[in-house]
Amino acid sequence: IIRTNDDDEDTTIPPLYTGWDWPPGCCPYYRTSFKKHAKEFVEHEHGKIYKNLYEELKRRLEISTDDDVSTETPIALFQNMLPALFETIQTLHSRPEQQEVRFVFRTFGSDLPNIADAITAFARGQHPRYRDFVHPELEMKTIVRGRWKQGEDGVIYQLLDYDDDAIVLASGDNEILQFLQKQTLCGIQDDYDYWSRNNWEPWAGK
């Protein structure tokens, strides 16, 4: 039960579907003609019933005002990232076994530069909750674009320079594996256009 902003009556909110397989007759909102409203879903009549839930989830992502936020790094840099991410990186990197761990961030979006800034600030001890976590080797200095390309023997996956896609950094599974093994932490923007052209099949994605 949640109280809406429109009236004083309690309204039962239909649960959000979180399953992997879509129910018969259903599909993701962003694959419909209403896709243009996806980024404003909770403001639109289709999703405004979930506005309070959205605000609550957004609040939980915020860095508490109880934290010491006196830092040269804007707090907004970390606000849209799950707090568990930083805890996970700290835990894995601080394990006593000294087993080498590599982190690869992958996204179809255009947010890699922002993620790189946040992770780099975190690795420099600029996150207000992790001031003692200073590990320059985890600064996110490498971001690339992953793209599928038609070759003589079929389609091949390549890693391209993020700012100049004419520069091929690695091509094919073996080269890409070797490239990743040299990185402690990096980010890849995957090929959304290719994925969408192939009906979002898993094999055409990441």
Q: 83-93 and 112-123 helices cross at what angle (nearest 10)?
A: 50
Rounded percentage of the chain residues whose pLDDT exceeds 90:
56
The pLDDT tens digits of the residues spanning 193-202 come to 999 899 888 8
Q: Which two tokens stand for residue 14?
A: 């239909």
What's the chain's average pLDDT?
86
Distance of CA 141 to the CA centre of its chain: 17
Mean pLDDT for 146-160 is: 91
The pLDDT tens digits of the residues spanning 64-105 come to 645 555 555 567 788 878 889 999 999 998 887 767 889 999
What pLDDT sits at residue 73? 58
Closest listed residue to residue 128, CA positions, set 170, 204, 74: 74
What pLDDT sits at residue 74? 67
- Determine the Cα–Cα distance for residues 177 and 155; give it in Å rounded to an integer: 17
Element spanning 157, H or E: strand 154-161
What pLDDT sits at residue 1? 36
Mean pLDDT for 174-190 is: 96
Strand duo 103-107 + 185-189: pairing? parallel
Rounded percentage of the chain residues whose pLDDT exceeds 70:
89
- Label residue 110 by pLDDT band (50, 70, 90): very high
Task: Give the type of residue at 22.
Answer: W
Q: Which of 2-16, 52-66, 98-112 has the highest mean pLDDT?
A: 98-112
- Determine the Cα–Cα distance for residues 171 and 158; give it in Å rounded to an integer: 4
Is the pLDDT score of 156 beyond 80? yes
What pLDDT sits at residue 68? 53
Closest listed residue to residue 186, CA positions, set 131, 116, 128: 116
Q: What's this model's pTM, rounded to 2 decimal places?
A: 0.76
Task: Give the type of residue at 169.
Answer: L
Is the pLDDT score of 2 beyond 70? no
Q: Which two tokens stand for residue 81?
A: 């990232």
